Structure 1
């Protein structure tokens, strides 16, 4: 019987921790605030986001394991790719509290640009260590493109729905 590859399992699960936390955090806001927003007809159904993000986070996590394994961990050439990847995951996790918690699509749109930039950097740097790891980042980058477009359209079409800071102070 073969041994379990705990590093691969841990790397695959880790990005999902923030994803699950974000989903729990956003649930009430999705039901209340997000439901009231104007959204494009082409947006995926709400039920699609959980399974899609779970599969993307899992493939990203496994890709990070491949890079860690093949690039001698943080003491070898994998160091920079893993730092960029870690930054990307943290930025990705931060988007949910900005969009759903602060209810600020404009700030979330600015922040998701950093997510896109670090995702592309991750894919490129991962590819240099392990091409399969680089390829595993492609679906994530494509989904981020859709998420960015959705964030933009929601911001554009709902600019007047967020109370101005001065209006909140006056109440």
Structure 2
């Protein structure tokens, strides 16, 4: 019997996350909500590329009325709900619809009522602080991989035996003295 891997879908309750990630909430409180939204999308885009999860970020129309739309931004789907539709309602419906034998849905929110609704639909819930930890860990892993990759590129690709290295060291020292 063949073994199938489930695809993974992460749905993010955007304003809940912005309000609970300190660096994004600081932007929001400084009347820089568009910057907080952009930063959230940027961070989740980096996370998406590394994790391979499909990500949908849901903003409700509470702060930007009349924008009901959905578009791809930096490899993630960004959804703005209708004027009279909350992000919670949209997320709960989406999670119920998408959760299946082939797709594991995970919802990032710290809204306890929403977490229980999501859980009862068979989806997983992840508190926003746990998502932040995963995003930060991913950033660190990306930096480490890039550092290792760069050091391998600049490393010595020619191998010398001990005698050759001694001769090269002597030549370098002799040339240094002549300068």
Taking structure 1 as the reference length, the TM-score comes to 0.27
More strand by share: 2
- Structure 1 or 2, whichever has the larger Rg, is 2
Taking structure 2 as the reference length, the TM-score comes to 0.26
More helix by share: 1
By relative contact order (CA 8 Å, sep 6+), the higher-ranking structure is 1
